[in-house]
A and B are shown apart, each in its own frame.
Chain A
Amino acid sequence: MKYLEEFQNPELARGLLEDIRATVTRPWAVMEVCGGQTHTIIRHGIDQLLPDGIELIHGPGCPVCVTPLEVIDKAMEIAGRPGVIFCSFGDMLRVPGTDRDLFRVRGEGGDVRVVYSPLDALRIARENPQREVVFFGIGFETTAPPNAMTVHQARKQGITNFSMLVSHVLVPPAIEAIMTSPDCRVQGFLAAGHVCSVMGTEEYPQLAERHRVPIVVTGFEPLDILEGIRRTVRQLERGEHTVENAYQRAVRPEGNPAARAMLADVFEVTDRAWRGIGVIPRSGWRLSERYREYDAEHRFDVTGITTRESGLCRSGEVLQGLIKPNQCEAFGTTCTPRNPLGATMVSSEGACAAYYLYRRLAAPSAPSALEVSSVG
């Protein structure tokens, strides 16, 4: 229980844990979808505080981790061109492409700039009319509305030297893909709270019903996670599968209607490859036909890129919850945050980086994934 004292409210945490303990009668496997949740869980040792048999499976919800290698390589190709200012969020700098990363591209003379907001990239475009400014638009449904608004503003302000390399991914199709995979062990989901702040919860009841799986919308603070697990386990024990909102302070059923309207205008749904996982049908957004002129892939010829993924990296299995990071042979030896082989070692929301940061260096000896699933 050594971690418990680090909770903001240790008493409340203890109560939730006791309640979970009293509810559980057999093993369950619950996936936290969001990388922010994974970070909290590992940092606070929540997985180790839970009763035996409750296994947390880390989901694919780290945007940096799942951005396809091909798109990373395209980003570097564009960023290296003369006359281009390439703008990105900071956590993309060290994501390994086939043979380099954006940090290296800048070292080789590329004008790569880190921005806090996509609107900063638009300002840079306004201030540098003779240059082409490209913004790297990645992320889940939380990040997509800012990016959509930026493209909309570019048009409204008549800025023509701005474009976006868009690779957005969507959570509900990923949940669908996980549940229909033959290897699926997931029995309940902690849905990503901030994604639902934007999109609301309307897409989830069908998913819960179709796969008979409880889905609890959860924040990412330690107590939020415990509460999410408590509600999921309670449903599982009762044989229920409904959608619950355990993050009401930030999530309304309809999400943010203004943001959803803008998303529907600027983007359209497309099939999207997830790094390490493969193509998931209708799981991403690209710029819609109306905004094609702002599409960096349309403006720059980046076809003909050949990608090569590290042969050692098992991040695809990590992202699908098939192995824990410390079961990868390269973990902590040839692969560290300083020298990452895979994207899941780069962002602090990536499961490998979280394990490394919080010293989960040894491979798990407690019930292995297979043992738990054969009992359940």
Chain B
Amino acid sequence: MCLAVPGRVMEIEERDGARMAVVDFGGVVKEVCLEYLPDLRVGEYAIVHVGFALQRLDEESARRTLELFAELGLLQEEFGDPWEAAAAAAAIANAEVQG
């Protein structure tokens, strides 16, 4: 959760009075709030944390970081289904208790 992931801005629009963007994180696409980086443009990269762009990043660093995160499985951890992970862990824990 503390992780911030670089992403590329694909579209920008105003929604509910806030500046929002569609951002691509190496294949995973999410809605991101741009209120803290209002002059970010389509095509640029930013560090995004829990749905908010917090700081600009140059394209090369962004790509490098994304590759590394994909390799380490961190993108899955950030965007995957936490209920599945928690349920799997709890099921194993229960089995251990009963067994």
Contact A337 B77 (CB under 8 A): no
Query: Residue A142 contacts which of B54, B64, B68, B96 (CB distance < 8 angstroms)?
Result: B54
Q: Please, which residues of chain A bring their CB within 8 A of the CB of B3? A: 36
A197 touches B2 (CB 8 A): no
The total of chain B residues at the interface (CB under 8 A) is 42
* B10: Cβ under 8 A from any A Cβ: no
Q: Closest CB-CB distance, B59 to chain A, in whole Å?
A: 11
Of B16, B52, B65, which is in contact with the most chain A CB atoms at under 10 Å from its CB? B52
Question: Are B57 and A250 in contact, CB atoms less than 8 angstroms apart?
Answer: yes
Does B16 lie within 8 Å of A153, measured CB to CB? Answer: yes
Known: A116-B79, A258-B38, A338-B89. A90 touches B47 (CB 8 A): no
Within 8 A of A (CB), among B56-99: 57-58, 61, 64-65, 67-68, 72, 77, 79, 82-83, 85-87, 89-90, 92-93, 96-97
Contacts of A114 in B (CB 8 A): 82-83
Q: How far is the CA of A73 from the CA of B79 in the complex (A)?
A: 26
User: What is the CB-to-nearest-CB distance from A4 to chain B, in angstroms, rounded to a whole number?
Assistant: 15
Using a CB-CB cutoff of 8 Å, which residues 175-208 of chain A contact chain B?
Answer: 194, 197-198
- In the complex, B35 has a CB within 8 A of chain A: yes
Contact (A117, B2) CB under 8 Å given A93-B82, A258-B38: no
Please tell me the number of chain A residues within 8 Å of chain B, measured between CB atoms: 49
Residue interface bits A338-357, CB-to-B below 8 A is 1, else 0: 11000000011100000000
Give 26 pairs: A residue, B residue, CB < 8 Å, sorted on A. Answer: A63-B1, A89-B1, A89-B50, A90-B86, A91-B82, A94-B89, A94-B90, A103-B87, A114-B82, A116-B51, A116-B79, A117-B30, A117-B51, A139-B2, A140-B2, A143-B49, A145-B54, A149-B36, A149-B52, A249-B58, A249-B61, A250-B55, A250-B57, A250-B61, A338-B89, A348-B77
Chain B residues proximal to chain A, CB less than 8 Å = 1-4, 16-18, 30-31, 33, 35-38, 47, 49-52, 54-55, 57-58, 61, 64-65, 67-68, 72, 77, 79, 82-83, 85-87, 89-90, 92-93, 96-97
